[in-house]
Amino acid sequence: MKFKHIWLFIAVLCSATTFGQITVKGTVKDNKALPIPGVNVSVKGTTTSASTDLDGKYAIIVPNKEAQLEFSFIGFTNKIVKVGDKTLVDVMLEESNQALDEVVVVGYATVKKKDVTSSIASVKGKELQTMTVGNATESLQGKVAGVQITGAGGPGAQPRVLIRGISTVNLSTDPLYVVDGIPMGTSINFLSNNEIESMDVLKDASASAIYGSRASNGVILITTKKGKVGKPKFNVDLSNGLQIMNNPYNMADAESYANILNKAYTNSGYSEYLPNAEQYRGKTTDWWGAGINKTSQVSNASIGVSGGSDKNTYAISLNYYNSDSFYNIGGWERVTARIANDFKFSDKISMGITLNPRYETWGSPGNWADFDKIDPITPIYKPADQLNGTENEYSIYARSPSYVWNPVASVARYDDYTDLYNLNTNAYFQYEPIKGLVFRTQGSIEIGDKTQSIFRPDFEIDAAHEKAEINSVERKNTTNHDWTWQTTATYSKTFAQKHNASLMVGATMEEYNGNDVWGYGEGVPNNSDLMREVNAATKNRNSGGNSWSSSLQSYISRLSYNYDGKYYLTGTFRRDGSSKFMANNKWANFPSASASWRISNEGFMENTKAVVNDLRLRAGWGKVGNQSLPGSVYQSNIGQGYYVIGNEVVDTSYPSSMANKDIKWETVEDINFGIDFGLWKNKLSGSIEYYEKTTEDMLFKKQFPTYSGFPGYATIWTNVGSMKSNGIDVLLSYKDKKGDFSYGADFTFTTSNVKMVSLSADGEKLYGSSNRTLTIEGDEPGYYYGYIADGLFQNQTELNSHTDEHGNKLQPYAQAGDVRFKDLNNDGKIDDKDRTKLGSPWADFTMGLNLSVAYKNFDLIANFYASIGNELINQNISDLYNGASLTNKVAGLDQMAWNGEGTSNYVPRLSKNDNNENFTKFSSLYVEDGSFLRMKNIQIGYTFLNQFGLDKLRISISGQNLWTLTNYTGVDPEVGGGVLGSGFGGWNYPVQPTVLMGINVGF
């Protein structure tokens, strides 16, 4: 009976406790009145918490009226509200100016931005989505200090990305891209802007050493969008616009062309090439108008849905991108989908899977330069009296005496397209057996199939020079099947309230496999589309194939510690074993260490809080590697050729490359010092960093010396040389808000200085780009190397005075109006010894300026990018100004070129015979200032909120690459290329101005 009273007492106590509890509901929105899903709502001082759904709504039970609710979400300032007598608590969160609590991806983990000790820059996906581009890295241009991006024109072209300059000479300079934790190589053409949640750029070795042997060029970590708890939310993003293709040059019309050539011929002692130039007046062939479209379409579309419950969230998107070429045919088309599912089985167990299928097709003629270079007199088609009715459709075009193949005909014959099908899967399983200890295993499989189909029809435009007597068909199929698997264990613990430590250990395995097979044949019965198959070929059938494989096994670890949010230490270690190296050097170690001191959290900084909100010093050191060389360099290879003995052709074999069992990784050692700050409530924030890199054991492909007994074309990969670079990165950001008006500006500034420290032998010289660049010890790699063009000879007196000590002319074939080349060593000859450094392709610094303004529902952004202090080679000078060829020239060249004393000191006289080698000698005549300032993007938009039955409707208009300020007279100042051949501009496909309309709908 006594137990009955005890149970009655307990029931009454529980009832009293229950009656004291309060259920609080509400909605959380941002300062634009948009609901914020995923906000963490917690009862301060307890473990009770909830989160908002997709409508920003929440419900939570609090113990009493004295309870306080804390609202927190990444990118917003935390807010604490006392419950009191309220059961409905609506909250508006303000965006955090500095957002130090934002999560940053650091490689196999995430940390809060304020806890980062290395050099890492983070860009949110919404900043990338303001541009419509095929490759998301183009949107990074000017937004990240230390990252130089050189745009590439053309459908599907990949921009060049340099993180803190170059770290290698002969190997790829592209960074490693890691998507959702999986290394994906050196290109993200497969990824739509709309799928990206954030990009985190690991700039120094202390950040990237966790990726070891592939991190010497930096690492870009990409996180894609995931589902959030709440009802289904749809988002539709559409943009469509026109790319504008303007002729970069004003080319001569038919009459002007005749005058130019006539002058070149008569200056060389010949009779006029085209007498009576007036007869061509009004008879100019408009090649450009016939083959090049002034505008081409670019389209981008994305539709996505996300949502879920506490147990399962999902995000599904379908994306389409299309960029037409400026011909009537060709372009790049891409369709991608991403299906992400995350499951939470309990507080301890979760897993997820992502599927990413895609299809791409591309192909475009590459002969647009010919539309300018072909003469303006030749008609597009043969006159009717030259046709006999037996010609096929590709033989009706006229031939130009300029030896430029008819470009309209070339486009008509073009049939070279590639189709790619790819499926990538990424799955993880995570288990937390005890608080703070997390086991995670993640795997990825990628399967790809690429088919290139080429058909070359038979045709005869000119029996001697422009024809293909037999048609041919070719097909190449390449498949790949790659997989990765990584497992980590992470333990995080706080000791004595102020000591915070985290230890991660793990292992990864990766394997990359591929094979190709190709077939070739000639003599297809006709040129119809249905017959363009290898099986239809009747002659010279041939086939071949190959396969390849490489693998990487690694062990990784990271130890992080901080004391009281003031003193931070991080150390990482990775050990890589690669199939690309022999046993002696198969394994390599890549350690790193970094530290930071948050001065602003010190007690002596308390009185400065009104001004200094954040102040931190950072330092880092690490080693990373580069192994981006072929997978079989440790093998000796035999090449195949032929030799004629008498009247017989004999097949031959020869050693084409030799094994080097001692070859090993390139290694980059890096140090970094930085300061981060936030002032005046973080309205002004930024960072200043200094870095220094040393590359050792650089990989070169060298020729064997002739005395070795091997043929001169036999090569061997070997480790030689070292290189050093240093520079600074600066980021300044200012953001403020006055009522309904908000504005901001981000400024980035980057320098990079590099020089070769050593090569394999004393005084060795490394030439590149047809001996037009040189790399030597003590100077920057790949600088332009040639003759100094010291103006033009203006008269006979100047010609006579340009002699050696004996009165012999240094340039015996020169005439007034020709280029005067400098005899730098004063040996009385103009020869190879007079070549010298002409300039550098590497910019002194790059800058970015990103502006944003918003008033109520209007918003405006503008992005600018500048590259200053580099030189470029304008290879088109020879095509445009040289009278020795029959190709078309720039309009007015007969007046621009030297035609008497004082008329020009730059453009040489017109001459049919370039006996002085004005244009064939590589000289400073071709070198131009490559500095430029470009408006990358300007966009204005208006957003309707909660209208028309939609959560959001935004309409925008934008312009990309609308104007460029530069002294460079070539096609486009954004010129890439390899390290030993960088900066050689010619008829490169330009980055095109683009005007777009966009609409974004959320419901």
Q: Where are the beta strands (DSSP E) in 627-705?
A: 637-645, 648-658, 666-679, 684-696, 699-703
* 203 CA to centre of own chain: 15
Residues in the chain: 1003
**Would you kindly state where each structural domain of the chain is located, as residue ranges?**
18-93
Closest among 332, 354, 331, 357 to 343, alpha carbons compared: 354
pLDDT band at 12, cuts 50/70/90?
A: very low
In a 3-state reduction of DSSP, which class is residue 274?
Answer: coil
Give the chain's end-to-end CA distance (angstroms, integer).
62
pLDDT at residue 8 tops 50: no
| pLDDT the model gives residue 890 | 96
pLDDT (average), residues 127-148: 87
Q: Kindly tell me the burial class for residue 66, based on how many C-beta atoms sit within 10 Å of its own C-beta (0-12, 13-18, 19 or more).
A: exposed
pLDDT at residue 454 tops 80: yes
pLDDT digits (tens, 9 = 90+) for 212-265: 888 899 999 999 988 888 889 999 999 999 999 999 999 999 999 999 999 999
Contact 274, 261 (CB under 8 A): yes
| pLDDT the model gives residue 713 | 61
Q: What is the token pair recorded at 651? A: 């097949």
| pLDDT the model gives residue 664 | 85
- The residue among 584 and 835 whose pLDDT is bigger is 835
Q: 715-719, 835-839, 919-923: which has the minimum mean pLDDT?
A: 715-719
Q: Kindly tell me the burial class for residue 788, based on how many C-beta atoms sit within 10 Å of its own C-beta (0-12, 13-18, 19 or more).
A: buried
The residue with tokens 């192994």 is 627
pLDDT at residue 632 tops 70: no
Sign, Cα dihedral of 183, 189, 195, 196: positive
pLDDT at residue 645 tops 80: no
| pLDDT the model gives residue 15 | 42
pLDDT band at 663, cuts 50/70/90?
A: confident
pLDDT at residue 648 tops 90: no
pLDDT at residue 901 tops 70: yes
Per-residue HEC secondary structure of 494-515 comes to: EECCCEEEEEEEEEEEEEEEEE
pLDDT digits (tens, 9 = 90+) for 278-324: 999 999 999 999 999 999 999 999 999 999 888 899 999 999 999 99
Q: Where are the beta strands (DSSP E) in 525-665?
A: 539-563, 567-578, 587-598, 612-626, 637-645, 648-658
Q: Kindly tell me the burial class for residue 469, based on how many C-beta atoms sit within 10 Å of its own C-beta (0-12, 13-18, 19 or more).
A: exposed
**H-run or E-run covering 5:** helix 2-20
In a 3-state reduction of DSSP, which class is residue 905?
Answer: coil
Rg of the chain, C-alpha, whole Å: 33
Q: 382-396, 658-672, 680-694, 801-815: which has the minimum mean pLDDT?
A: 658-672
pLDDT at residue 660 tops 80: no
| pLDDT the model gives residue 819 | 96
| pLDDT the model gives residue 655 | 67
- The residue among 841 and 660 whose pLDDT is bigger is 841
pLDDT at residue 949 tops 90: no
d(CA 114, CA 677): 11
Q: What is the token pair recorded at 567? A: 């003193």
Residue 949 Rama label (left phi>0; alpha psi -120 to 50; beta): left
**Which CATH fold topology does 18-93 show?**
Immunoglobulin-like (2.60.40)
Q: 125-129, 135-139, 336-340, 639-643: which has the minimum mean pLDDT?
A: 639-643
d(CA 45, CA 811): 89
Contact 69, 43 (CB under 8 A): yes
pLDDT band at 720, cuts 50/70/90?
A: confident
pLDDT at residue 677 tops 90: yes
Q: What are phi and psi of 178, to 5 degrees?
A: -120, 115
